Amino acid sequence: MSGVLRGLAVVVQDVELARALYREGFYGRFLGYDKVKRDEVDKVSAPLILALYEALYLAERGRIKVVAEDGAEIPPEKLAELGRGMIRNFDDVYKIYKYFRDLGYVVKSGLKFGALFSVYEKGPGIDHAPMVVVFLEPDRGISATDITRGGRLGHSVKKTFTLATVLRQTGEVVLLGFSWAKL
């Protein structure tokens, strides 16, 4: 039931565990594959790579045990600490990840969209358009440019995107939905 921390990602070698995690909520990505469908999972025999926030989420839920390459267990707090040291705004980003995951959404990297996350109801390769989620640093305000930039991300004609931030006062995750208005 374990994954090995290597750098900023966790590798799950156990094929059965890898398949189970992927099936459960499209956690991770099979090395060498992209957008594997749920019913194709049993045909894939490749290690699963979990992003740090995915591994942390699964570790906190007792779903996986993360170990170092020498086999020593790495508790969730240590994973969070590692993230904090290496990734800007890690705690806020993780909070947003957790917010979507706890509500049952599939959260994947947003890099190829130029965003923080792409969020799916059913999963990558199934949903036609993910919710493109842009991170807004809590201590910064919002500018007009943030909004038009977001509008350029999705390739949907409606130019819809979501800004996610964490309110400093309450720690609450706030989602703002924007869409271009042809008035």
Partner 1 sequence: MSDVLFEQVTRDLRSKGFKILEKLGDRMFVAEKKEKYLFYVMVEGVEVTTQTLLSVINMGETLSMDTVLALVSNDGTVTYYFVRRIRLPRNVYAQGV
| Binding residues for partner 1 (CB under 8 A) | 23-25, 63, 100, 103-105, 121-122, 136, 138, 140-145, 147-148, 151, 162, 165, 167, 169, 174-183
Which of 65, 69, 70 is CA-nearest to residue 50?
65
CA distance 147 to 163: 9
> Which listed residue (112, 128, 155, 182) is catalytic?
128
Which of residues 60 and 78 has its CB atom nearest to partner 1 in the complex?
Answer: 60
- Smallest gap, in angstroms, from Cβ of residue 37 to partner 1? 13
**Contact (CB, 8 A) for 117 and 93:** no
Q: For residue 112, which phi and psi values (nearest 5 degrees)? A: -70, -15
Which of residues 72 and 157 has its CB atom nearest to partner 1 in the complex?
Answer: 157
Concerning whether 120 is annotated as a catalytic residue, the answer is: yes
Which of residues 9 and 176 has its CB atom nearest to partner 1 in the complex?
Answer: 176
Q: How far is CA 114 from CA 4, 10, 82, 142, 181, in A?
A: 28, 23, 24, 18, 22
Which of residues 71 and 141 has its CB atom nearest to partner 1 in the complex?
Answer: 141
Record the tokens describing residue 32, joined without a space.
């060498």
- Smallest gap, in angstroms, from Cβ of residue 142 to partner 1? 6
> Which listed residue (33, 65, 120, 182) is catalytic?
120
Concerning whether 159 is annotated as a catalytic residue, the answer is: yes
Concerning whether 158 is annotated as a catalytic residue, the answer is: no
- Smallest gap, in angstroms, from Cβ of residue 130 to partner 1? 13
Kindly provide the b/e burial profile for residues 97-113, where b requires at least 16 CB atoms within 10 angstroms of the residue's own CB: bbbbbeeebbbbebeeb
- Smallest gap, in angstroms, from Cβ of residue 182 to partner 1? 8
Q: Which residues are catalytic?
A: 120, 128, 159
